[in-house]
Amino acid sequence: MPDDGSAKQDGQIPTNLRLLLVLEEVARAGIPVLPSAVGEALGLPKPTIHRLLVTAEEQGFLQRDIDGRSYGPGRRMRQLSMNTLSSHRVRSERLRILKVLAEEVGETCNLAAPGRDGMVYLDRVETHWPLRIQLPIGSRVPFHCTASGKMYLASLGYDRLDRLLSNYELTGQTKRTFTDVTLLKKEIQKVRKLGYSTDTGEFLDGMAAIAVPICDDQGRLLSTLSIHAPLQRMSLEGLIENLDRLKTAVDQLESLVEL
């Protein structure tokens, strides 16, 4: 951990900073981390790390991962992150970018971020058409049958993906939903190669979507940008034709993260 003055010269971290630094370390890692890794990074003894992690978990700032041993951001930590990013200036600019994209494409655009068991809608700009998907901000949608969810799955390392899918129920939403883990993994591999993901009636009959990743400066997925449309109005091929527009919007959104 860099010397920013938060720790004493003898290596002891002030008590009132320890929990904050634990949360910072978990967020910095970008993946669920073991207590031993947090302790090693901060130079704190195992009993102290255990106590801090349990406290953070009890209060909802951290949550145990599916392996039962490692920790990742919890509900309150994610909410804190979203509230921070949703300052008036940043969110106004974010919505402006989405509005321009929605007007160019003529369909609904949204931002989603991974939660514990599905993607969470952060922002959206609706199309003017009366026929549209009604999924307000805060809605949760599955990983395995949505464009945003499959984009997230494709961003995971192979071991992390295997662990997630081994404890994840591939519920059939429509006849086109991937409910076989082998077929889903083939689809995820395809997404990795293409750099974008799609959904053609896998989540909702008659609806299509395309999603691209929004990443930090280390290339880690933060959220996704998607376009949704009824198939009777726009084909999947039509959505893919808007890929350059999506990537332009992603460049603009990623610049906001760097502020």
- Label residue 129 by pLDDT band (50, 70, 90): low
Q: What pLDDT does residue 87 have?
A: 66
Q: Note the pTM of the prediction, 2 decimals.
A: 0.70
Token pair recorded at residue 252: 């603009």
In the predicted structure, residue 169 carries a pLDDT above the cut 80: yes
Residue ranges per domain, the chain?
15-73, 86-257
C-alpha span between 153 and 185 (Å, rounded): 9
Q: What pLDDT does residue 6 have?
A: 41
- CA angle (239 as vertex; 180, 164 as ends), nearest 5: 30
CATH for 15-73, options being 1.10.10.10, 3.40.50.620, 3.40.630.40, 3.40.50.300: 1.10.10.10
CB 169 within 8 A of CB 155: no
Q: What pLDDT does residue 240 have?
A: 95
CATH for 86-257, options being 3.40.50.620, 3.30.450.40, 1.10.260.40, 3.40.1030.10: 3.30.450.40
Q: Do domains 15-73 and 86-257 have the same CATH topology?
A: no
Q: What pLDDT does residue 9 have?
A: 35
Distances (CA, A) of 188 to 46, 180, 208, 240: 38, 12, 17, 17
The mean pLDDT value for 193-222 works out to: 93
